[in-house]
Chain A
Amino acid sequence: MTARVGVITFPGSLDDVDAARAVTRAGGQPVPLWHGDRDLRGLAAVILPGGFSYGDYLRCGAIARFSPVMTELIPAARDGLPVLGICNGFQILCEAHLLPGALTRNAGLRFIDRAVRVRIEDTKTPWTGSYAPDQEITLVLKSGEGAYVADAPALSRLTSAGQVVARYAGGNPNGSVGDIAGVRNEAGNVVGLMPHPEHAIDALTGPGSGGLGFFSSVLRAMVDG
């Protein structure tokens, strides 16, 4: 049976179609989840896509974390459900306190759409298992509030526990502390990533296919797990 991966659509989600396409391309079956649903439909993994959920009003991700689907997702994630938040999804996971830290305005104060080199530093998560340690890939960064910040104790905990999943490798594009591009929770099942792997699955429409590994990783983890 094809592995089923949920993709949540919040009002204002934009990259949900792209995340679904990436799941398909990796060999899985994407299942749409609606922000108003209080049911995860027994899915074994869930993606929170990029976009501007609820218009990013108040603060990026601040309203989405209270949506009905999140009231189901938060305890499931605490129980080990693999969850990947991309861009706005990462912001929502931080707002929901599933991940430490926060995302703030880019250092240049402008939106950036650019191909960026990223080094995968933790290959033990369900989302990064098919990468080699320290493998460098090219993804698409496209965000206005992508600068990762965390206070000093949180940062040292992240580093010592190996919770930094990915760092920018070809220069820091947005002022993220420690060049951090992605982090995970302590258990490792919840990953947040600022650059978009779903826009790097095909050289025809993106900078190569280096992002596909996030989706094939979770499919493999679902089979193995």
Chain B
Amino acid sequence: MSRPPVDTVPAAAASPGQPQPYAELGLTSEEYERIRALLGRRPTDAELAIYSVMWSEHCSYKSSKVHLRRFAETAPPSPALLAGMGQNAGVVDIGQGYAVTFKIESHNHPSYVEPFQGAATGVGGIVRDILAMGARPVAVLDSLRFGPADALDTRRVLPGVVAGISFYGNCLGLPNIGGELGFDPCYRGNPLVNALCVGVMRHQDLKLAAARGTGSKVILFGSRTGPDGIGGASVLASATFGGSDGAKRPSVQVGDPFMEKLLVECCLELYAAGLVTGIQDLGAAGVSCATTELAAGGGTGMRVELDTVPLRDPGLGPAEILMSESQERMMAVVEPGQVGAFMRICARWGVLGTVIGEVTGTGRLEMTWHGEPVVDIDPGTAADEGPVYHRPVARAAAQDRLLADDPARLARPSAGPQLRATLLSLLAWPSLADKSWVTEQYDRHVRGNTVLAMPEDAGVLRVDEQTGLGVALATDGNGRFCLLDPYAGTQLALAEAYRNVAATGAVPLAVTNCLNFGSPEDPGVMWQFSEAVRGLADGCATLGVPVTGGNVSFYNQTDSEPIHPTPVVGVLGVLADVTRRVPIGLRTEGSTVALLGRTGDEFGGSVWAQVAHGHCGGHPPAVDLAAERALAAVLTAAAAAGLLDAAHDLSEGGLAIALAECCLAGGRGCQVTVTGDVFTQLFSESAARAVVAVRPGRSEALAALAAEHGVPVTDLGVVRGDSLVVTGSFDISVDELAAAHRGTLPALFG
């Protein structure tokens, strides 16, 4: 059988005028001209494929780069940071010789086009990022946003996304320990599916993506390469959705979690045997990304025989192989003498490994197809030197109108029965309702180290069974606050995740982020983006927690309507002893219920304004990061001293929702008294607050601790009985709270 002719390097040099489909591959004419100038000729089809995916927004960060530099520039000095931005994921020292790596990444567009596989492969991709750092992946979290809960399309997208995450994560054997689920009309037609993975390793096991050692072999291992996900990074992730999205379905990858499980165990055994000198996962941009980044990272060259790549579809040519995003593949650099041992471990796990090339000293990335040269480029030009855009930034005129639309004008409930009804309606609101319909589909128990999981404030994992060392993780994001003020809104997301981690008793250490925004070609969106990045960088500097890595997802809009700016912030904390963790549930009759922090009249962007009035305007709650830091110090010290029976951060829905959730989680009631305006005290969303249940006899110790850190403490009442009682206002049994809270999602999704 004769092979179809391929476009070779000499042929490209000899036919400068041949038209090329750069626009279809997502490149602008300026970018195409730049490639020609770099090469001194037109690119071959294969080279064009490499540049089109590597220079896509998704892989190159070309619109965000100039803003993201701020994270590194303002990063607080942190001795805990072992590897930072630019690696596959940041790595943090948690003590006792352990390091933790974590990262969150978006799979928004694939999850809209094909919810099940889109979400499943989102999990698979982030797990390989963590694996590529040398760590054993130990848990996942997911942050999800959908259109209105009762919209017809949400009933297609949500069950598919949840089933996809459940299928992939469960089959891979990773506990799902937390995350978020929210609904808003702005995500109709553009859901957010952000997956976070955390991994654990010993310090000395850290791996970096670099090809070193001339003559070392380049091994592709894992699944065969097929035609799935071709151009996923450039076509799907880097463009706005229009009318005919079904046509993009071939750009979505298909996942095989069983193969990923084998790949994880195989990699960990290869690492332990010391057989790997460089490692890279294959995610967006597949072989293009792995080869260019490994070669550029090592400052070396690489020669690859593309025709040796094992294929699932023998009809694929070099350009398609380079662009394929087939899942469950890794690339390793291995010393020649160790290839045999490497292959024996692959065989033990039933993983296909193939030598596809070797490291050279030429500084060039050269690829051949059945002996003919099809790629000859400087790998750095594709991996690191992509275009950088200073996109126009302009604050939208509508911003002032939004801020001026003060929620003070909204009618407020005041009588007891009205307040009672308000609490029940918020508790049943889809974004605040019980999420068991979703979270019961996730295995939270596998590996036996899950100490806290949903609906707790943060997921807590035991890392060391002997010492009790553990980590806590939370993700948060509030698109409504960010719409009103992206700088403050992003800091509120950071503060909430930070507070959530501290509420479990963990000391916050580091930050990851997934920045979900509309089109960067819209100056208003770029203003939101630059404000969000500035807010996060400043906030991290003030709180003393560095950003270790993250992901940018642009083009989250259907036609001209962008989503609310939705930066999702993940915070990692450390617990010296996980047996000291504090859950949200009220467990002990007679414990004192107290509020930490100050309550103001703050309803801009609040859930109450949304549920009661369909309103989103005014200023979001004030940010006070010094108060957040002090609150976290009290919460962690109180947990370590064993003062607390329960702790729960206050966020959406304020004190009323927090108290109801504490009652529901513990199956116990409480009786509280609030002073001042009852509505404001119950439903305001002021930041830097938490509600705690103090063990009998320990209130004075907590008061002393709070005084030391300058955190106001207000005694609210006591854990008692089986109703939530607000003296003088209302009384709701835990059973009635449960009925309101637990009925919503099953009624919507079956």
Contact = CB atoms under 8 A, between A and B. Distances in A.
A31 interface: no
A204 B578 contact: yes
Nearest to B462: A205
A112 interface: yes
B361 interface: no
Interface in A96-153: 110-114, 140, 142, 144
Contacts of A51: 173
Nearest to B175: A113
B442 interface: yes
Contacts of A113: 439-445
Contacts of B257: 52, 55
Contacts of B350: 11
Interface string A183-225: 0000000000000101100001110000000000000000000
A102 B441 CA distance: 22
A114 to B, nearest CB: 6
Contacts of A54: 258
Given A112-B441, A204-B462, A52 B258 contact: yes
Nearest to B578: A204
B345 interface: no
B730 interface: no
Interface stretch (B285-293, B404-412, B447-455): B447-455
B258 A12 contact: yes
A17 B258 contact: no
Contacts, number: 82
A66 to B, nearest CB: 15
B163 interface: yes
Nearest to B348: A36
A53 B259 CA distance: 11
Nearest to B159: A110
A18 interface: yes
A114 B443 CA distance: 9
Contacts of A74: none
Interface residues of A, number: 28
A50 B170 CA distance: 11
Interface in B314-371: 349-350
B446 A18 contact: yes
B170 A111 contact: yes
A37 to B, nearest CB: 12
B463 to A, nearest CB: 13
Nearest to B439: A113
A14 interface: yes
A197 to B, nearest CB: 12
A95 interface: no
Interface in B252-266: 256-259, 261-262
A18 B443 contact: no
A142 B445 contact: yes
B443 A205 contact: no
Contact of B163 (A18, A50, A110, A199): A110
A206 B445 contact: yes
Contacts of A17: 447-448
A21 interface: yes
Nearest to A142: B443
A51 to B, nearest CB: 7
Given A14-B447, A111-B443, A142-B445, 14 more contacts: A12-B261, A12-B262, A21-B448, A52-B170, A110-B441, A113-B439, A113-B442, A140-B445, A142-B446, A199-B448, A204-B462, A204-B578, A205-B462, A206-B448
